[in-house]
Amino acid sequence: MRILSGIQPSGKLHIGNYLGMIKSMVEYQEKDELFCFIANMHGLTTLFDGSQMRENINEALIGLLALGIDTEKSILWVQSDIAEVAELTWYLGTVTPMGLLQRCHSYKDKVARNIPASSGLFTYPVLMAADILLYSSNIIPVGQDQKQHVEVTRDIAIKFNAVYGDILTIPEAEIQEEIAVIPGTDGQKMSKSYNNTIEIFAPEKELRRKIMSIVTDSASVEEPKDPDANNVFLLYKLFASLEDTDAMAEKFRRGGYGYGEAKKELFNLLMDYFGPYRKKREEIVADPSYVEEVRKKGAEKARNIASELIGKVRKAIGMI
């Protein structure tokens, strides 16, 4: 089964990225054919700094490799390294009804967040469809809020096949099991937009500072506390064993246990959990040529598959 998943190079990877997507991607590569790409062309709808884009792409590649993406078991590439994706986007756009794009909630949501209302932002779902269809992907893991993107891809592929023949594989969305909202340092959903993330590879002092800044209520150390009503515990239980989770919950309920102590436990837990990944990242950063080689080989593998599909499309539509 061919699984496809992409991540935008929007900055430093944080624990929300890891739990929301990267962890499951690493699991997929053990049993399926994983296609994983850095969606830098999508990122152009919100990031307009070339130097920052280059840095973000490199950071995303290094982060994915450090967190367990294995290029012997999966294909990892940068979206823009495959020119065929832009070509297929145009071909798909010629059969995509305007009404289909007008119904996409992502465009409206992003404009509401003051993202410039460009034609690229509006046709974003067509580029996403090209990403999926170019590699004949079978399964697209998404959260419930992203299900519409795959439905649009299916509609476009069905329309294209109806016009030109049975060429494109119709993908299926695999709705990922909902993870409870991952709270940021301010209690809102963890997101770069809210500047409340906990970066996986932050320097130790910065990571400690971030964790110690997690917003809590004003309850005193002596007071009993509801563990499920505070952000420190909600983050802790995402990574701790059941035994350790129960132990912290009991300390909160019993009283005499302050948020400062709990934050220290959370810091130590995250350092232990991500310690091997942090060490691996240091090794990767020390060898820049390795990252360049990974990017080059990933592009070659992805292009071999993309060129086969685009050849069929060109022939069907009369380009050759």
Q: What is the pLDDT of residues 5-62, one digit of tens each?
A: 999 998 899 999 999 889 999 999 999 999 999 999 999 998 999 999 999 999 999 9
Cα–Cα distance between 179 and 182 in angstroms, integer?
Answer: 8
Give the tens place of pLDDT for each residue, 75-85: 999 999 999 99
Look up residue 54 and give its two tokens. Answer: 């280059």
Look up residue 185 and give its two tokens. Answer: 């340092």
Cα–Cα distance between 175 and 145 in angstroms, integer?
Answer: 9
Asked whether 177 and 24 are in contact (CB, 8 A), the reply is no
Cα–Cα distance between 84 and 309 in angstroms, integer?
Answer: 9
Tell me the mean pLDDT in the region 86-114.
89
Q: How many domains does the chain have?
A: 1
User: Residue 179 has what pLDDT?
Assistant: 61
pTM: 0.92
Cα–Cα distance between 320 and 306 in angstroms, integer?
Answer: 16
- Residue of 31, 108, 189, 296 marked active site: 189
Between the alpha carbon of residue 260 and those of residues 134, 209, 214, 221, 232, the distances in Å are 50, 12, 10, 9, 10
Residue 195 — left, alpha, or beta (φ > 0 → left; ψ -120 to 50 → alpha)? left
DSSP state of 193: G
Asked whether 9 and 54 are in contact (CB, 8 A), the reply is no
Kind of pairing, strands 139-142 and 74-78?
unpaired
Helix axes 84-93, 288-317, angle to 10 degrees: 40
Active site residue 280: no
Radius of gyration for the alpha carbons in the chain, expressed in angstroms and rounded: 22
> Is the model's pLDDT at 117 over the cut of 80?
yes
> Is the model's pLDDT at 175 over the cut of 90?
no
- Asked if residue 155 belongs to a domain, the reply is no
Tell me the mean pLDDT in the region 162-186.
87
> Is the model's pLDDT at 178 over the cut of 60?
no
Asked whether 88 and 310 are in contact (CB, 8 A), the reply is yes
Active site residue 312: no
DSSP code string of 80-97: GG-THHHHHHHHHHTT--
Asked whether 6 and 41 are in contact (CB, 8 A), the reply is no
Active site residue 192: yes
- Residue of 192, 264, 280, 301 marked active site: 192
Tell me the mean pLDDT in the region 160-189.
88
Q: What CATH number does residue 243 fall under?
A: 1.10.240.10
The angle at the Cα of 202, spanning 294 to 257, to the nearest 5 degrees, equals 140
Mean of all residue pLDDT scores within the chain: 94
- Asked if residue 247 belongs to a domain, the reply is yes
- Asked if residue 48 belongs to a domain, the reply is no
> Is the model's pLDDT at 177 over the cut of 80?
no
User: Residue 106 has what pLDDT?
Assistant: 79
User: Would you place residue 180 in the very low, low, confident or very high pLDDT band (cuts 50, 70, 90)?
Assistant: low
Range of the domain at 260: 192-282
Place of tokens 């209520």: 217
User: Residue 143 has what pLDDT?
Assistant: 76
Cα–Cα distance between 165 and 268 in angstroms, integer?
Answer: 57
- Asked if residue 205 belongs to a domain, the reply is yes
Give the tens place of pLDDT for each residue, 124-162: 999 999 999 999 999 999 877 778 889 999 999 999 999
- Asked if residue 66 belongs to a domain, the reply is no
Asked whether 1 and 32 are in contact (CB, 8 A), the reply is yes
How many residues are given for the chain? 320
- Residue of 110, 147, 264, 297 marked active site: 110
User: Residue 135 has what pLDDT?
Assistant: 98
User: Residue 99 has what pLDDT?
Assistant: 92
Kind of pairing, strands 33-38 and 139-142?
unpaired
Contacts 24+ apart (CB under 8 A), 62-65: 62/281, 62/284, 62/285, 62/291, 63/13, 63/22, 63/200, 63/201, 63/281, 64/7, 64/22, 64/25, 64/36, 64/38, 65/280, 65/284, 65/291, 65/294
To the nearest whole percent, how much of the chain has pLDDT over 90? 85
- Asked if residue 252 belongs to a domain, the reply is yes
- Asked if residue 88 belongs to a domain, the reply is no
Amino acid (one-letter) located at 27:
E
Cα–Cα distance between 8 and 42 in angstroms, integer?
Answer: 7
The angle at the Cα of 50, spanning 3 to 281, to the nearest 5 degrees, equals 55
Residue 280 CB-half CA count within 13 A: 17
Sign of CA dihedral 256, 262, 268, 273: positive
Give the tens place of pLDDT for each residue, 183-229: 999 999 898 878 999 999 999 999 999 999 999 999 999 999 999 99
User: Residue 11 has what pLDDT?
Assistant: 86
